[in-house]
Chain A
Amino acid sequence: MFHVSKSYLAGSFALRDVSIELAKGEFVFLTGPSGAGKSSLLKLIFGAERPSEGQIVVLGRNIARLGESAVPPLRRRIGVVFQDFKLLPRRSVEDNVALALQVTGTPPRETRARVFAILKQLGLQHRRYHHPLSLSGGEQQRVAIARALVNEPEILLADEPTGNLDPELTVEIMDLIASAALRGTTVVVATHELEIVRRYGKRAVRLEDGRIVEDTQPSFSRT
């Protein structure tokens, strides 16, 4: 990301002259107060927004010049997890996770097998026929993580993934997200919870008012 600025309204910047480089397999926290630009930065990475200025290269594609038809193929290589889970309440857990494979035309038998495998890995195989609303918050977020990871993405983005969870579940969810980085996935987690950042001791990029004000390299590694 080189000298990127993002403005939604003339004269009002969500991001200002942001330059940052993430290595493959790196685990990075984006920190800062609400409105600092963390979510905007994630949206730029998965092509939901285009930069007003500057260039962003994600998985070899320049987001600033990406045509609309090139966005879906890019997103299939990026998993995204949100604070509000974004699950379909009327579909089963299995169906929710399967969506990420169905868009690629994966055959049903392979889809079922891969969905079962990821749910088992996240300890949710017994919940696969349940509907999201019958699950706890932590379980719902695990389903969202399963959906983000089932396609074996090269990048995992998480926007305040533990914002709706109590402290015990926060650690459980963060451990799952961190484990993706161990398998070579680049992980970017936006959070305002400094306790989490301290706990994992990974690189932390602090944003304030749309600018990078601090870029702390890993001090120690717990995972």
Chain B
Amino acid sequence: MTRTTYKWLLFIRTAIRGITSSPVTSAISVVTIGVTLVLVGAFALLLRNMEELLDQFGDDLRVTAYLESDVSGEALRGLEERIRKIPGVDDVEAVSQGEALERFRASVGSGSALLDGLEINPLPASLEISLSQDRRSAEGMESVAKAIEGLAGVESLSSGRDWVEGYLRAVALVRGIGVGLGIILALATLLIVANTIRLGIFARRDELEILSLVGASRSFVQTPFLLEGALQGAAGGAIALGLLYALFRLVLPGFEFGLELLVGSAPRFFSSGEALIVVAGGAGLGLFGSAAALSGGWRT
């Protein structure tokens, strides 16, 4: 082993000793970082699933023209041709009443038995108009829908524009609250971690003075404190991750079926990479807190 390795082993040992010698203040740091990350992580998790939902809908964003019941086959073909020529229309697919019912049955999955009791098919035939890439937005849908509105044989239109707009607003709101809360909590956490480390520096001022006397470099003195902050942060991050997972498992069954029905897939927890980011985020908070404490002025 090299001298650098010995030094790092010593730094780690000193950092752990720093944590264990003041368990209460260290625990305050860990819990603070943990609480911050649980709150921010909950928003991140919500946002992640909301955005995933939007991605899934992205390909399905389309305008549906519900047809009057007496439209003949020839009129339907004529209507289809006219719609295809509208700017922003990528494709038009005719869906008969029977196909509409089958699709609904498939999407309901295990609940499809409820549909067996129907005597008549209540679903209208329709034209599903998919949009070109540049029109897959609330505004794009609006322009295409306006062009179709009033065409002969079209009874009503469903574009989901209002839903998309509302959903995008909700996503933006969640993101805004998450980021705002994250910044405020991160700053508060930095202050608490910085103060904890500052208390540690104060408690060990005699040791630091002696280290300075025997020729310890600035990095030799500061590295254990930085490590101490990072370790506390990583522990806070790991605790937050565990709590988030427990909450996720606890809350999920309540709306899993509804979401599966609506979206076709259940909400997902963080991937292993994202989970690592949560722990690294905690370590980063601890590290910056320590750095802030040390920048307060320790010198050789």
Interface positions of A (Cβ within 8 A of B): 46, 68-69, 71-78, 80, 86-88, 99-100, 102-108, 147, 151
Q: How many B residues, CB 8 Å from partner? A: 21
A68 touching B214, Cβ below 8 Å? no
Whether A105 touches B214, Cβ cut-off 8 Å, given contacts A86-B209, A88-B206, is no
Interface positions of B (Cβ within 8 A of A): 1, 3-4, 6-7, 10, 206-207, 209-218, 220, 299-300
A72 touching B7, Cβ below 8 Å? no
Closest to B4 in A: A105
Chain B residues near A87 (CB-CB < 8 A): 210
Q: Please classify the interface of chain B as helix (H, G, I), strand (E, B), loop, or mixed, using the class held by over half of its residues.
A: helix
Chain B residues near A73 (CB-CB < 8 A): 215
Chain A residues near B10 (CB-CB < 8 A): 102
Chain B residues near A151 (CB-CB < 8 A): 214-215
A75 to B218, CA, bound (A): 13
Whether A105 touches B1, Cβ cut-off 8 Å, given contacts A69-B218, A100-B215, is no
A68 touching B206, Cβ below 8 Å? no
Closest to B299 in A: A68
A191 to B216, CA, bound (A): 27
A147 to B210, CA, bound (A): 10
B300 touching A76, Cβ below 8 Å? no
Chain B residues near A107 (CB-CB < 8 A): 1, 3, 6
Contact for A75 among B3, B207, B215, B299, CB less than 8 A: B215
A88 to chain B, nearest CB (A): 6
A78 to B6, CA, bound (A): 23
Chain B residues near A103 (CB-CB < 8 A): 211, 214-217, 220
Closest to A47 in B: B300
B3 touching A105, Cβ below 8 Å? yes
A99 to chain B, nearest CB (A): 5
Chain B residues near A104 (CB-CB < 8 A): 3, 215
Whether A86 touches B210, Cβ cut-off 8 Å, given contacts A68-B299, A107-B3, is yes
B209 touching A72, Cβ below 8 Å? no
Chain B residues near A77 (CB-CB < 8 A): 215
Whether A68 touches B6, Cβ cut-off 8 Å, given contacts A88-B207, A99-B211, is no
B68 to chain A, nearest CB (A): 85
A167 to B209, CA, bound (A): 29
B74 to chain A, nearest CB (A): 89
A147 to B215, CA, bound (A): 12
A71 touching B300, Cβ below 8 Å? yes
A105 touching B211, Cβ below 8 Å? no
